[in-house]
Structure 1
Amino acid sequence: MNLFGGTIRALENSLDYAAVKNRTIANNIANVDTPNYKAKDAVFKNMLHNELTSSIKANRTRPEHLPFDGTLHNSYQVITRKGTMYNHNGNNVDIDKEMVELAKNQIYYQGLADRISSKFNSLQTVIRGGR
């Protein structure tokens, strides 16, 4: 029996994703001048997973491929951006893009933190008998 209807778990997973995305962006910013560094992105993969598992039956031929058997452990993954180069030293970090993504992620994280705090406050009110 799922006592909270999965909402708290979904918020937890979203907070985990936002934290990973923040670390990924911070790492990209820290390596903006590192020669041949390739920027990384944290991306959701469970939306694709849900779509694929509901409509396609397939086998994994390589360990890097997404699983199709419902054993997806994280709802996100970190990928490397390839095929682009913004700097003469082989680096593909666009500092303006990274700063915009960082600001968006901070707003996203704060919204999630506010929502989960509200959920816990509601539970606390119920436990106290409405006081």
Structure 2
Amino acid sequence: MFEKLEVFQMSQAMARHAALREGVVATNVANADTPGYRAKDVVSFADSYRTEHAQPMRATRPGHLGANGSYTVSVIEDPAPDSSSPDGNGVSIEDEMVKAVDVKRQHDRALAIYKSSLNVLRASLGRG
């Protein structure tokens, strides 16, 4: 019953997005010495979530259109790599470190939203 609340779906989607982006960052770092490898990234969570959930209708029951709660994000080539090595590799370890810190913040934010919402829900039920 409570797993269908939008705030919980959003925090779950944010955590999944952070996990996907962390995997992409790890792949970039692993291929930092691969000739011709281009750095990849993920579309920002705000843009992808807004696009995915910009439906005028709201699903209130499992049988309604769009009630599956799916959230998909695709991995894209980094649109503006800052530098390229002589062998054509577009991975900058420094940029990837900054992205990794950003991903950790996003994941921590998703957990904070989830925990805070759970505490509000528990308090409203008299169990907080």
Query: What's the TM-score, normalizing by structure 1?
Result: 0.68
Aligned to 2:61: none
Contact 1:31 1:37 in 2 (8 A): yes
**What is the deviation of 1:82?**
6.4
**Counterparts in 2 of 1:12-23, with a 5 A limit?**
12-23=12-23
Secondary structure at the aligned position of 2:43 is classed as: strand
Report deviation, 1:120.
Answer: 2.5
2:38 corresponds to 1:11:
no
Instruction: Spell out the pairing of 1:21-32 with structure 2 (5 A cutoff).
Output: 21-32=21-32
Aligned residue type for 1:6 = E
SS of the aligned residue for 2:32 comes to coil
Q: Give the equivalent residue in structure 2 for 1:77.
A: 74
Contact 1:38 1:82 in 2 (8 A): no
Letter of the 1:12 counterpart? Q
Q: Which amino acid aligns with 2:73?
A: Y
Q: CA offset at residue 123 of structure 1?
A: 3.3
Unpaired runs of at least 5, structure 2: 57-65
Report the number of matched residues: 114
After superposition, the C-alpha distances for 1:75-123 in whole angstroms (9 at most, x for unaligned) are 4211123685611111101111111111111111112112212223343
Tell me, yes or no, if the aligned pair for 2:52 and 2:71 is still in contact at 8 Å.
no
TM-score, with length taken from structure 2: 0.69
Cα RMSD after superposing both structures: 3.2
Where does residue 60 of structure 2 map in the other structure? none
| Per-residue CA distance 1:1-60 (angstroms, 9 max, x = gap) | 877641100111111001101110111011111111111111143435667x88xxxxxx
CA 1:120/1:47 → structure 2, altered by over 3 Å: closer, same or farther?
closer
Quote the residue 2:92 is aligned against: 94
Instruction: State the partner residue of 1:47.
Output: 50
